[in-house]
């Protein structure tokens, strides 16, 4: 978690430099992660760990 928090802090610093590009990148990452999560939810052979990973990634994106 320490490394994740450090990365989130770095993103916030980067975001101040070029808000529009950073925002577009975050939206793109969110959209890709959400689409993959939806595919996993709809798949009949999804491993629970795969869902856990995607849920964690979505939570990280919403954390700050």
Please give the model's pTM, rounded to 2 decimal places.
0.63
What's the CA gap between 10 and 50, in Å, rounded? 27
Q: Does the pLDDT at position 13 exceed 90?
A: no
- Exposed / middle / buried, residue 36 (Cβ in 10 Å: 0-12, 13-18, 19+): middle
Question: In the chain, how many domains are there?
Answer: 1
**Which pLDDT band, with edges at 50, 70 and 90, does 20 fall under?**
confident
What's the CA gap between 56 and 62, in Å, rounded? 10
| Percent above pLDDT 90 for the chain | 23
**Which pLDDT band, with edges at 50, 70 and 90, does 1 fall under?**
low
Range of the domain at 10: 2-63
Task: Count CB atoms within 10 A of the CB of residue 54.
Answer: 20
At 17 the pLDDT is 74
The chain-wide mean pLDDT, for the chain, equals 83
Under 8 Å between Cβ of 50 and 32: no
At 39 the pLDDT is 93
């Amino acid at each position: 978690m320490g490394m994740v928090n450090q990365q989130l802090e770095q993103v916030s610093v980067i975001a101040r430099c070029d808000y529009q590009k950073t925002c577009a990148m975050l939206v793109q990452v969110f959209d890709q992660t959400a689409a993959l999560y939806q595919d996993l939810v709809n798949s009949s052979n999804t491993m629970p760990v795969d869902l856990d990973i995607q849920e964690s990634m979505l939570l990280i994106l919403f954390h700050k």
